[in-house]
Amino acid sequence: MSDKDISSRLGDYLVRLVPQRPAELRTMEAYAREHRFPIIGPAAGYLCFQIARMINATRVFELGSGYGYSTAWFARAVRENTGDDGSGSVHHVVWDEALSARARDHLAALGHDRVVRYTVGEAVTALRETDGSFDLIFNDIDKEGYPASLPVIEEKLRPGGVLIIDNMIWHGAVFDSADHSAATAGVREITRLLTESPGWDCTLVPIRDGLIVAWKRPKGEPIA
């Protein structure tokens, strides 16, 4: 069996292990397949949900949210963490008015209206201008912008918070030594910055197109 066959079968297997999802979420997945719209998919989405639940996240910020698929997973976690009392928040941010409107429809159908906050604009600027700190930040902006986003993320993520970054395998481009494109360079650079910094504990999880999961060390936390 070829490596490609193993990778494909592994991806299918991981999706089959994800618990049954609401019909609205499956509709969002079907749209992504039909229109080749990039979403994180069920296996990565469920991992994001689990992480948000495990750290008891009540404030989540998404840098680049598409039509709300990843938002739905985070909103479910925040609702469970807060007892669905409306005190939590998940910030959905996209440049495009149409995507924001589509997200509002999907997330309303899923019952997430009380926790999702919508912004149409540039994501890093929106994060910088939003009051308070966050328990979890999810980064899925244009890949060439990844390195420049890190100082803002470090400022806005609470100590002990978690950063999740999508597309960190970048469809295999990170393995191609001849690929010097701005997007690939951005993925490589933020990976280097996080893995070499004593302020982060960082792992690349090879689900779908790769997720970096990084824990922001509290100041003074000893390194073993």
CATH of the domain at 85: 3.40.50.150
Domain assignment of residue 223, yes or no: no
Number of domains in the chain: 1
Q: Is the Cβ–Cβ distance between 103 and 92 less than 8 Å?
A: yes
Q: Is the Cβ–Cβ distance between 59 and 133 less than 8 Å?
A: yes
Q: Is the Cβ–Cβ distance between 72 and 110 less than 8 Å?
A: yes
pLDDT of 26 reads 97
pLDDT of 164 reads 98
- Model confidence pLDDT, tens digit, residues 164-184: 999 999 999 999 999 999 999
List the pLDDT tens digit at each of the 224 positions of the chain: 666 677 889 989 999 999 999 999 999 999 999 999 999 999 999 999 999 999 999 999 999 999 999 999 999 999 999 999 989 999 999 999 999 999 999 999 999 999 999 999 999 999 999 999 999 999 999 999 999 999 999 999 999 999 999 999 999 999 999 999 999 999 999 999 999 999 999 999 999 999 999 999 998 776 66
> In whole angstroms, what is the distance from residue 222 CA to residue 90 CA?
31
Domain assignment of residue 75, yes or no: yes
Domain assignment of residue 194, yes or no: yes
pTM: 0.95
Residue 142 domain boundaries = 3-216
Domain assignment of residue 221, yes or no: no
Domain assignment of residue 222, yes or no: no
Q: What is the per-residue burial (b if ≥16 Cβ within 10 Å, else e) of 48-87?
A: bbebbeebebbbbbbbbbbbbbbbbbbbbbbbebbeeeee
Domain assignment of residue 50, yes or no: yes
pLDDT of 198 reads 95
